[in-house]
Structure 1
Amino acid sequence: MSDWREVELGRGLRVKHGWAFKGEHFRDAGEQIVLTPGNFHDKGGFKPKNGTEKFYDGTYPEQFLLKRGDVVTAMTEQARGLLGSTATIPKDDTYLHNQRIGLIEITDPEVLDLRYVYHLMNAAVVRRQLYATATGAKVRHTAPERIQSVQVEVPDILTQRVIAELLDGIDGLIENNRRRVAVLEEMARAIYREWFVKFRYPGHEDVPIVDSTLGPIPEGWEVSTCGAELNFIGGGTPSKSEPSYWDGGTVAWYTPTDLTKTGWRYAAPSASAITGQGLAKSSARLFPAGSVMMTSRATLGVLAIATTEATTNQGFIVILPDERWSPGFVYEWLDSKAGELSALGTGATFKEITKGSF
């Protein structure tokens, strides 16, 4: 990279704080949405909150209404991996620039290109420096001046624009695939509920409906329990004070955060991994690909299908593959029973679904 040069980000950009929007004006519906770290994917990119947004109906300075194409970065690690995550605002006159979000503005367009900076901010070289200078014991924070002091190597401005255009194209393909997957998942959900909740499956017209302990069901169907029909296990956490249980680990080890931060049907790679020794010396259990993970502690009923062998901490019930029930069927059944499963949760400090009640 002989034609690249080292620069401090502050030579070509500035980061602006947002505004402190008043909680008394937050609403469940409206026109403008208060942007939060929850609107960022941990690897970067904008994440709609789909029904959990906080709308704002108070007055605010006009400059804090974001525009399509604005580049913003999370300055608070609301969830693991979010510090420094950077996103592009998808549309005009909708999102409000909250105080713990940084708005990136180019001050010298001969030094840095905004689209290149978007991708650069999501690269490990920047994230590592932000983590190293962040403050806070439990929740990590960064600040505009710390972001501006990050050192990076960059090419000339024309090369930056070419690289950014290529990466934007790849991001576009990824987003299109996400949308297609979302459509397919909704189709699967609709078919499941039509056939197995409303009992309008092919040929249902010829099958009588009979009474059962759960209410009317098609004749020939049976009422059973999860304990009788499913094989499931829990998880565990190897001692964090024993490095040999963690250092160089290759066994995927999931926590509920791994599922909640993506919301994907098929599990993304876990943020942590344990060693074979950590697995052997703890209550963590190894399960195969195709197992359905369900969070069972604090955050209840979040689901994902494992794509590799993996383990979890104790905040899960994991339903193992079974030749009678496909992972997709188990996933949809659990999803359709979300309210009932949540009602099983007990506990004073945090709710938990025990394997016995499940």
Structure 2
Amino acid sequence: MSWERYRLGDLYEVHNGLSKGSKFFGSGYGFLSFSTVFNNYFIPDELPDLVQSTEKEQESYSIKRGDIFLTRTSETADELGMSCVALKDYPHATYNGFTKRLRPITDKVVPEYIGYYMRMPSFRNEFMAFSTMTTRASLRNEDLLGLKVNLPNLDKQSSIANILREYDYLIENNQKQIKLLEEAAQRLYKEWFVDMHFPGYKNVKIINGIPVGWYNTSVDELGTYLNGFAFKPSDWHSRGKPIIKIKEMKNGISKDTPRNSGERIPSKYIIDTGELLFSWSATLMVMIWNDEQGLLNQHLFKVTPNVGIGKMFLLYSLKNALAEFSNLTTGATMKHIQRNKLNQVFVNVPNEKIMNNFEQIADKYQNQILIHSKINKELSEARDRLLPKLMSGEIEI
């Protein structure tokens, strides 16, 4: 296979993103957020975020097929330079000020190919070496454009990308199944605890909007919230327990997940399979951890249910409250929840019988979710093992 090596600066021009005040977000036109870039190889078909942008801003900060978006600043170098590629044009959309856009200036690159190439650990290690650490990690344009990529001809690029995309199609199908299961559990939660159509509700007396034997309280009172350990880049090693960050919550443990022996880390930060995690910064998400034992990084809560509160009930109480939490976050671009905001979101807590009934049903959904998640982890690992071999030409196409 014939390969050529190019500087990114010979293939792309760089442009920073749109920065606006918080009052402009939540309505308007499509907006590519930091978290969407961080969590996806390719931009989703529909952008989940909105911003009020002008025609001039839409023109200057446009998103077109072939554009690469990179997280340009972060609190840790490991979260720096995560890439996400546009596979179509997004009319009227703009992108985040904490990202950089690389727009093609040639026709030598297949977008699907570069989307996988930029996520290779070997390539990420190259440009991470150029990042600067002050109070935050950042990328300089001259260093970024000086990085080099290996390109075969366009047909070979397409062939390589198509092989890798087959894995992603299977992963996406499993993700759809997971989403359906989660939605079923969330619908059940809403029906029982928001709409109050729980089993036997017609025979229960309601006083001040609350069934007898129930109570209303803040999510802060449902459990204890432990913020993770403030790991530094110097704490990241290749051996030991994996350090669980937002990335690991989203994608699980991977080869580029940093590790630490844990010898100097208090045991309270050890996370076992089955623990409830809540990401409160950049990406708001809640999940049951289903990977190997690890160490909790800052910006994540380990949430332990209080006595009388079921884990599934707590999980879906938090999931149901995410939209409300989003409205209480601070920061226009990298949003986070202040600890005291947990006192401002309230839920209805049922009696023991209804609580146990919900736990049994939700547990069944959760077990199916774990099965699909395990399959996706295996598919992701197979894809990631294949990725460098295809990109290096070790496997001939």
- Rg larger for: 1
Q: Quote the residue 1:8 is aligned against.
A: 6
> What is the rounded CA distance, in whole Å, between the counterparts of 1:43 and 1:135 in structure 2?
24
Q: Report the equivalent of 2:252.
A: 268
Aligned residue in 2 for 1:159: 156
Equivalent in the alignment of 2:339: 352
- C-alpha spacing 1:36/1:197, structure 2 compared with 1 (3 Å): closer
- The corresponding residue for 1:251 is 241
Partner of 1:125: 122
Match for residue 289 of structure 2? Answer: 306
Asked if the contact 2:58–2:94 (Cα under 8 Å) also holds between the matched residues in 1, the reply is no
**Partner SS state of residue 29, structure 1:** strand
Contact 2:3–2:150 (8 Å) recurs in 1: yes
| RMSD, aligned α-carbons | 4.7
Task: Summarize the Cα distance change of 1:317–1:62 in structure 2 as closer, same or farther, 3 Å threshold.
Answer: closer
SS class of match (1:103): strand
CA 1:19–1:46: 2 relative to 1, 3 Å: closer
Distance, in Å, in 2 between the alignment partners of 1:145 and 1:196 is: 54
Matches within 5 A, 1:1-358: 3-5=1-3, 7-10=5-8, 13-17=11-15, 26=24, 28-30=26-28, 32-42=29-39, 44-46=41-43, 50=48, 52-60=49-57, 62=59, 64-67=61-64, 69-74=65-70, 76-78=72-74, 80=76, 81-96=79-94, 100-105=99-104, 107=106, 109=108, 112-135=109-132, 137-143=134-140, 145-205=142-202, 207-211=203-207, 215-217=209-211, 221-223=213-215, 234=226, 237=229, 247-254=237-244, 257-258=246-247, 268-269=252-253, 271-279=257-265, 282=266, 284-294=268-278, 302-308=285-291, 309-313=293-297, 316-319=301-304, 327-336=311-320, 351-352=338-339
Greater percentage in helix: 2
Which stretch of the first structure deviates more once superposed, 16-25 or 308-317? 16-25
Q: Secondary structure at 2:180's aligned position in 1?
A: helix
Q: How far off is 1:252 after superposition?
A: 3.8
CA distance in structure 1 between the partners assigned to 2:228 and 2:25 by the alignment: 39
- With the length of structure 1 as denominator, give the TM-score of the two structures: 0.69
Residue type of the alignment partner of 1:292 = L
Q: Residues 49-68 of structure 1: CA distance to partner in whole angstroms, max 9, x if unpaired?
A: 63x4323035348475333x
Deviation at 1:73, TM superposition (A): 1.9
TM-score, with structure 2 as normaliser: 0.63
Q: Is the 8 A contact 1:34 1:55 kept in 2?
A: no
Secondary structure in 1 aligned to 2:193? Answer: helix
Structure 1 residue runs without a partner (length 5+): none
Q: 1:49 to 1:269 in 2, by over 3 A?
A: farther
> Mind listing any 5+ residue stretches in structure 2 that lack a counterpart?
330-336, 347-397
1:100-139, Cα deviation, whole Å (9 max, x unpaired): 5223315253xx4333222212222322222122345233
The 8 Å contact of residues 18 and 103 in structure 1, kept in 2 or not, is answered as no
Q: CA deviation at 1:277?
A: 1.7
SS of 2:137 mapped into structure 1: coil
Aligned counterparts of 2:195 and 2:236: Cα–Cα separation in 1: 47
Tell me the number of residue pairs that the alignment of Structure 1 and Structure 2 aligns. Answer: 329
Structure 2 contact 218–342 (Cα < 8 Å) conserved: no
Q: 1:82 to 1:226 in 2, by over 3 A?
A: same
- Partner SS state of residue 8, structure 1: strand
Change in Cα spacing, 1:105 to 1:330, as seen in structure 2 (3 Å) is same
Q: Distance in 1 between matches of 2:324 and 2:17?
A: 40
Separation in structure 1 between the aligned mates of residue 134 and residue 217 of structure 2, nearest angstrom: 44
Which SS does the other structure have where 2:184 is aligned?
Answer: helix
Q: CA deviation at 1:93?
A: 1.0
Contact 1:238-1:283 at 8 Å conserved across structures: no
Once the two structures are overlaid, the 10-residue window that deviates more, 286-295 or 58-67, is 58-67
Deviations 1:219-272 (A, max 9, x none): 5x4559899x9775746638869x7x76444334445x458xx6x5xx833954
Following TM superposition, by how much is the alpha carbon of 1:72 offset from its aligned partner in structure 2, in angstroms? 1.9
Task: Give the Cα–Cα distance (whole angstroms) in 1 for the partners of residues 12 and 325 of structure 2.
Answer: 48
CA distance in 2, matches of 1:317, 1:76: 28
Q: Percent identity?
A: 20
- For residues 26 and 54 of structure 1, what CA distance do their matches in structure 2 show? 6
Which amino acid in the other structure matches residue 274 of structure 2?
G
CA pair 9-186 structure 1, distance change in 2 beyond 3 A? same
Shift of 1:331: 0.3
Counterpart amino acid of 2:286? L
